[in-house]
């Protein structure tokens, strides 16, 4: 994603997680305004949990790709 070999600050999993969390918060807010949305409130919480899971997965993946190597490590460029 960085192209230049630098550290990666955000990845696709994190962006997906943020989008799902925002969508779930929008659905939860809509449930406070409308009785029809209140019926599917459980689905909004499920979307929120999936979004948080994607954010955690993105952070774990980012930490793995941003590891610094020791001086003795040779790169295969």
Per-residue pLDDT at 10: 87
Per-residue pLDDT at 53: 97
Is residue 45 domain-resident?
yes
pLDDT by position in tens, the chain (length 77): 555 566 778 899 999 999 999 999 999 999 999 999 899 999 999 999 999 999 999 999 988 887 776 655 565 65
Structural element, H or E, at residue 14: helix 12-33
Is residue 55 domain-resident?
yes
Q: Report how far residue 17's alpha carbon sits from residue 34's, in angstroms, rounded to the nearest whole number.
A: 25
Distances (CA, A) of 55 to 21, 60, 69: 9, 9, 25
Structural domain of 39: 28-63
Is residue 41 domain-resident?
yes
Per-residue pLDDT at 9: 83
Prediction pTM value: 0.75
How many domains are there within the chain? 1
9, 66 contact by CB (below 8 A): no
25, 48 contact by CB (below 8 A): yes
């Amino acid at each position: 994603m960085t192209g230049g070999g630098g550290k990666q600050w955000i990845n696709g999993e994190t962006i997906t997680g943020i989008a799902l969390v925002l969508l779930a918060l929008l659905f939860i807010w809509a449930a406070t305004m409308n009785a029809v949305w209140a019926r599917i409130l459980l689905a909004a919480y499920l979307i929120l949990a999936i979004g948080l899971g994607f954010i955690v997965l993105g952070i774990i993946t980012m930490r793995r790709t941003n590891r610094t190597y020791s001086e003795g490590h040779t790169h295969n460029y």
